[in-house]
Amino acid sequence: MIEETQEEFIQNNLELIQKFLAESKPHEDEISASIQATIAQFLLNTRIELNKRANGQEWISSEDIIQAQISVLRRSIVDLEMYYASLLGGDTLQ
C-alpha cells in the first residue's frame, strides 16, 4: 500500500466517495441518496481501518470511526422518518 499523508488520504477518500456516489445513482429519490451515503461512509471507514493498520498510524481512532458510522446511520433514520411522514401526509411513493 502506498503511504499517504493525512491530507492526501482525506482528499483521496473524498474523490472515491464522489466517484462512488456518481456511479451508483440508480434513483433520484431521498431514500436512495441516504442509502448511497451510508454505503459510501462504510466504504470510507473500511479504507481508513486498512490504511491505519498498513501504515501503523493512529491518527483516526476506532472510536471516531464508530461515532461517524453512528452519525451516518442516525441521519439515514431521520431521512427515512421524514420520508415516511411525507407518505402519511399524502405524498406518493416514487
pLDDT 10s digits, 18-53: 777 677 665 556 666 767 777 777 777 777 776 776
**Ordered alpha helix ranges (H), 1-94:** 6-23, 30-55, 62-88
Going by C-alpha positions, the residue among 69, 71, 83, 68 that lies closest to residue 33 is 83
Q: How many CA atoms lie within 13 A of 90 on its CB side?
A: 0
Integer Cα distance of 43 and 70 in angstroms = 14
pLDDT surpasses 60 at 68: yes
Higher confidence at residue 94 or residue 91?
91
